[in-house]
Amino acid sequence: MVELMVSMAIAAVLFSFALPAFNDFVSQRTMASRVNDFVLAVNYARSEAARLGGVVSVQAAAAAADNEWGGGYCVVAGNPGDCDPPVLRTFAPLDDATLNGDGALDGRTTLSFNSRGMLMLAAGADARVELCGADADDDPGREVRISAIGRPDANELVCFP
C-alpha cells in the first residue's frame, strides 16, 4: 500500500509539470490552425479566381476595429461586400483571438484576386494580417504576408513584447 501511495505521489508531481506544457502546446496548435485557415482561404480564392476566370474575394463577415477578420470570413465570387449567399466557403469567427489587417490591409475587409490569381492592391503594397491571442500566454502569434502575386506566407509574430 505504501509503494502504491508513493508511486501515485510521483505520478501527481510529474503531471503537475506536464499539464502546463501540454496546455501551451494546445494553445500554439490552435493558433497555427487558425492562421492555416486564413492561408487556406487566400489560396482557395486565388485558385477559384483562376478557375472561374474572374474576380474572387475573401470577405470579412463581421469586421470590427483592429479585428477586421476575427469575426469570421468567407470566399465569394466577385466582390459583393458581404458574406451573404451564395458563398464558396465560410470560416468561423475567432472568439478569443484577433485577426487584424496591417499595412495595406489595415481597415480593409476584402481581399480580391483577379483571374490570374493576383492580389488586387496597389503595386508594392505591404499586405499583412496579424493573428494574436487574447493575452500574453498565447504568444507568439502569427503573421500572414500576402505578396503582390497573391501568395501567402505565415511567420511567427510577437504580439505582447
Per-residue pLDDT tens listing for the chain (161 residues): 899 999 999 999 988 888 877 877 888 888 889 999 999 999 999 999 999 999 999 999 987 888 899 999 999 998 778 888 889 999 999 888 899 999 888 888 999 999 998 999 876 678 899 999 877 666 678 999 999 888 999 998 888 76
Predicted local distance difference test score (pLDDT) of residue 130: 93
With residues binned 3-state (H G I as helix, E B as strand, rest as coil), the percentages for the chain, rounded to 5, are 35, 30, 40
CATH number at residue 10: 3.55.40.10
What's at 24, amino acid-wise?
D
What pTM was estimated for this model as a whole? Answer: 0.85
Report how many domains make up the chain.
Answer: 1
Residue 137 corresponds to which cell in the numbers above?
A: 500566454
Residues in contact with 108: Cβ distance below 8 Å, sequence separation at least 6, in sequence order = 68, 101
Domain holding 23, by residue range, is 2-157
Q: ∠ CA 110-91-115 to the nearest 5 degrees? A: 45
Predicted local distance difference test score (pLDDT) of residue 38: 95
Predicted local distance difference test score (pLDDT) of residue 137: 63
Predicted local distance difference test score (pLDDT) of residue 60: 92
